[in-house]
């Protein structure tokens, strides 16, 4: 399968910031995925109920560990609630401006409610494995939602900053114990005035290993990638290359914006990392 305009636009090349990278096999779905970009400026038009149902149906279609479906999503449209969540999530104003803010929740509480109803034990959720399982299920569902909403002409950006103050976010949304907000997703119709573009990713040689992990081969392309990303940033009014941003983001506890407390928070939310 090939998409008609793939003969004129090399979307895979744009994805890697490398015009020489072309795909010999592709599909309309893949060409759609290659166009993903984060959108942080939205028109005021609401996301319709029909659109939301379709997006959640796509989320439900993602894989899930043992069919546990250990996730929930809270759809927030109330302007006051969005403003409060925005304040909790590093004050990012696009959360206010987006007509819809989806908060994706790793949810082991559904299982606990069933266990209580049926008077059964549910002790596995005390282990880090179960929290990771919930986080994985949540991420798989949310990524499917993004692919779906973009196919409806909507745009979105993930908001990891809901993990800056997870207890306050849980209070705001009335989340039960055994659950935690993993990330938000601001959703709306993209403002065409925004300077949002496809951001180049690490070359395939950096992320794809054959049979065993080969760090030397993987890192050989990083200097060229740094140059590509510096050029992209410069063209979009940003500064710096990739490496310095990675090193700043992961320098230490202070660069985690409060998320260094996450393990204690999970303990208090009855998702201990045993």
Largest CA distance in the chain: 62
With a CB cutoff of 8 Å and minimum separation 6, the contacts of 92 are 86, 159, 161
Q: Does 196 bind its own copies (CB under 8 A)?
A: no
Question: Three-state DSSP class for 249?
Answer: helix
Positions in 138-157 near its own copies (CB under 8 A): 139-140, 142-144, 146-148, 150-152, 157
Q: Which of 195, 186, 161, 33 lies closest to 98 in space, CA to CA?
A: 186
- Report DSSP state, residue 194: S
Closest by CA to 86, choosing from 195, 168, 178, 188, is 168
25: which strand partners? none
Q: What is the DSSP string of 115-154?
A: HHHHT----GGGSHHHHHHHHHHHHHHHHHHHHHHHHTT-
5 binds its own copies (CB under 8 A): no
Give the nearer residue to its own copies in terms of CB position, either 61 or 93: 61
231 binds its own copies, rule: CB under 8 A: no
Q: How many residues sit in the footprint of its own copies (CB under 8 A)? A: 130
Q: Which is nearer to its own copies, 43 or 262 (CB)?
A: 262
Which residue in the set 129, 234, 235, 268 belongs to the binding site for its own copies (CB under 8 A)? 129
Stretch that binds its own copies, among 16-24, 89-97, 186-194 (CB under 8 A): 16-24
The answer to whether 10 contacts its own copies (rule: CB under 8 A) is: no
Q: Taking CB under 8 A as the criterion, which residues in 59-88 touch its own copies?
A: 59-69, 71-78, 81
What is the closest distance, in whole angstroms, from the C-beta atom of residue 212 to its own copies in the complex?
A: 4
Note whether 224 binds its own copies by CB under 8 A.
no
């Amino acid at each position: 399968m090939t998409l008609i305009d793939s003969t004129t636009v090399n979307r895979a090349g744009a994805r890697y910031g490398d015009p020489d990278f072309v795909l010999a096999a592709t599909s309309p779905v893949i060409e759609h995925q290659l166009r993903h970009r984060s959108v942080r400026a939205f028109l005021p038009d609401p996301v319709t109920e029909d659109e939301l149902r379709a997006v959640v149906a796509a989320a439900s279609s993602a894989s899930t560990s043992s069919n546990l479906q250990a996730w929930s999503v809270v759809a927030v449209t109330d302007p006051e609630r969005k403003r409060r969540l925005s304040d909790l999530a590093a004050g990012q104003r696009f959360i206010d401006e987006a007509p819809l803010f989806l908060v994706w929740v790793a949810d082991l509480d559904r299982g606990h409610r069933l266990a209580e109803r049926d008077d059964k034990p549910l002790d596995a959720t005390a282990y880090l494995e179960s929290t990771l399982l919930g986080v994985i299920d949540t991420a798989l569902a949310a990524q499917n939602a993004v692919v779906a909403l973009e196919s409806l002409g909507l745009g979105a950006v993930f908001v990891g900053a809901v993990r800056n103050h997870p207890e306050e976010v849980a209070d705001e949304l009335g989340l039960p114990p055994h659950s935690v907000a993993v990330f938000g997703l601001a959703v709306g119709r993209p403002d065409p005035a925004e300077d949002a573009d496809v951001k180049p990713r690490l070359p395939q040689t950096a992320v794809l290993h054959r049979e065993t992990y080969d760090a030397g081969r993987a890192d050989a392309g990083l200097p060229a990638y740094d140059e590509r990303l510096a050029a992209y940033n410069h063209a979009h009014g940003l500064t710096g290359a990739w490496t310095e941003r990675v090193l700043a983001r992961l320098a230490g506890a202070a660069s985690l914006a409060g998320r260094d407390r996450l393990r204690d928070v999970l303990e208090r939310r009855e998702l201990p990392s045993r």
